[in-house]
Chain A
């Protein structure tokens, strides 16, 4: 039963990890931008959900699409107004730009919301599901299912819609896509907007699970990095597999080696994959 509980813990955590990482992977895969702001965008979504809950009484699960749309607008504006200007530049330039934007956003959030930790408390609590002597917390379960639904939704958008195909086309060959009439800067802005949408939605879910503060953004960013490398950069099924694999590995790693090593495991894994299988578990590039 101990192992069942540890497995449940890992899968629940892994589902949330997938949602944290998918927007980051999309932006990295399509735009070749390592978006250092991604963690802060998650936190911004979490704060939006927190205030919507405390001031307006909107349940964070219901608020997910609203946070997503709001962050989409912000992401679109950032890419169209700022990041598109350096899109042809080497990756270090875009990295530095998102690093700078992240500093601004993080400090603006510290100024606006203070650094205190806050958390959405759903009252009465959603409770637990008992499986033998193991427990599944309903809030984590719902958050994980919604997270996976979002990730699946994004995959469907990329595969079936006209804009999705255009994003994939830009990902595969920017010049050819432009020759076929795709407005590349607009696709960039939409892609960054979608990345922010996923971050905002993830943030709304995280507000129910984790204590939030502008300072926690770096933890989410670190996980997103590992999951992208684990699952294969730019692959949405890869992100789902990578997220769940990381959650389960951390969970069992913590059981066997002690909780002190659960975060170390993630980075050891990152190094091992970079050395032996740099394409990740799924071993695929792009969204095809």
Chain B
């Protein structure tokens, strides 16, 4: 009996010692690893975008760790991404942002997808003083709270609308009447309003401006009304499923116009696959395109190299959302390396003051926290391929009229 009792005690002691060793090694690893938290919409309505964003984060983390980690002073620290799925539910994204900061003790954060969720979750990172990179928030309304910890890598919406309006104004003098159909959601609506401003400031007549609800299954009536407004330039804002359905329903009613602009959607290969020939001559704009030719001092070294690495890992072309995920990592890495520490105050300072030459373009943050340092490309689907029209340095073809 005594012998078996002492055997049990010995076993317990061994277990306790083992547990202490594991705990000590975990603590050591936590101290030597940079933890970055990212709530992602991996299920629910925004899942396609969430997956794209995650691919960008993962590629960046993989490349950084392959190179030995981020240079922090004289040492190199590997990166670990911590993800939670917020199911495309913004309040859940806010809860998970808090969990990442308080439970998982992340050093830095990447914000959830889109302007609405970013704005909601930014209050949490501001409260805890955690520098947060927003890779997919372009509406200026996100940055109007004077937060010190929010850094958006997208330039504001008018950097998409102004070049398109200017291009149409110059190349299509007969285009006068504009119809705008916008998804009633923070970013698509803000973008549509920006389009309205850009169009009106150039003397276009906005003959139709309507919103459609999130989750609309049929756009036939809206298309009928747009047809009745006889526009020369149709602008539709929303997300890819809306764009696919609206483009198809435009064709169902033989609605044609010299210019059709859709954002977001045409930048994704799925839009071209799902609409086939109807994708041709649709104009769009996004913050990055594989045709970009930036050389950089980041882990990817150039836009072309990023595209190649992405293609090798995922067997598909990168789009601006995936590239946006990767550049969030790149900017954070460059700021940590410039600060030489993972101290949040110093990294925040480096983010505010730095100018980062990345594969995505040169990124520097203005006083409100969003990037104001590069020109997003305008493109048109020509022959089933996105073809860059602007800026001229990476222009691939001339703008075409007609559908």
Contacts and interface: CB of A to CB of B under 8 A. Distances in A.
Interface stretch (A71-79, A193-201, A252-260): A252-260
A114 B51 contact: yes
B215 A260 contact: no
A203 to B, nearest CB: 14
A2 B210 CA distance: 17
B218 interface: yes
B44 interface: yes
B367 interface: no
Interface of A: 2, 5-6, 9-10, 12-13, 107, 110, 114-119, 121, 123, 125, 128, 135, 137, 139-140, 209-211, 213, 215-216, 219-220, 223, 250-252, 254-255, 258-264
8 contacts: A5-B227, A116-B48, A118-B270, A135-B253, A211-B244, A252-B221, A255-B224, A261-B213
A117 B221 contact: no
Nearest to B239: A117
Contacts of B212: 259-260, 262
Contact of B217 (A114, A135, A219): A219
A261 B249 CA distance: 19
B35 interface: no
B273 interface: yes
Contacts of B253: 5, 128, 135, 137
A213 B44 CA distance: 10
Q: Which of A128, A139, A216, A262 has the most CB of B within 10 A?
A: A262
Interface in B270-294: 270, 273-277
Contacts of B355: none
B95 interface: no
Given A135-B254, A263-B216, A251 B221 contact: yes
B225 interface: yes
B99 interface: no
Contact of B274 (A9, A119, A261): A119
Contact of B215 (A121, A219, A259): A219
A261 B317 CA distance: 37
A216 B216 CA distance: 10
Interface of B: 43-45, 47-48, 51, 181, 184, 210-213, 215-222, 224-225, 227-228, 240-241, 244-245, 248, 251-254, 270, 273-277
B47 A254 contact: no
Contacts of B274: 117-119, 121, 211
Contacts of A263: 213, 215-217
A220 B276 CA distance: 25
Nearest to A128: B254
Pairs of residues from A and B, 9 with the lowest C-beta to C-beta distance, nearest first: A115-B47, A254-B221, A9-B220, A137-B252, A121-B276, A119-B274, A259-B212, A211-B244, A259-B222
A139 B218 CA distance: 15
A125 B51 CA distance: 32
Contact of A259 (B48, B210, B251, B270): B210
Nearest to B273: A118
Contacts of A5: 224, 227, 253
A-side interface mostly: helix
Contacts of A219: 215, 217
A262 B48 contact: no
B247 to A, nearest CB: 10
A2 B227 CA distance: 9
Contacts of B51: 114-115
Given A215-B47, A255-B224, A259-B216, 20 more contacts: A2-B225, A9-B220, A12-B220, A115-B48, A115-B51, A117-B270, A121-B274, A135-B254, A137-B253, A209-B248, A210-B217, A211-B274, A215-B43, A250-B218, A252-B221, A254-B222, A259-B210, A259-B221, A260-B211, A263-B217
Contacts of B276: 121, 123
A262 B221 contact: yes
A69 to B, nearest CB: 27
A179 B273 CA distance: 56
B221 A9 contact: yes
Contacts of A210: 217, 245
Contacts of A255: 221, 224-225
A259 B241 contact: no
A6 B277 CA distance: 26
A135 B252 contact: yes
A210 B274 CA distance: 10
A115 B50 CA distance: 10
A259 B274 CA distance: 23
Contacts of A220: 217
B382 to A, nearest CB: 18
A9 to B, nearest CB: 4
Given A258-B210, A263-B213, A263-B216, A213 B222 contact: no
Contact of B220 (A115, A116, A223, A251): A251
B366 to A, nearest CB: 33
Contacts of B222: 254, 259
Contacts of B210: 258-260
Contact of B241 (A117, A128, A137, A264): A117
B270 A116 contact: yes
B218 A211 contact: no
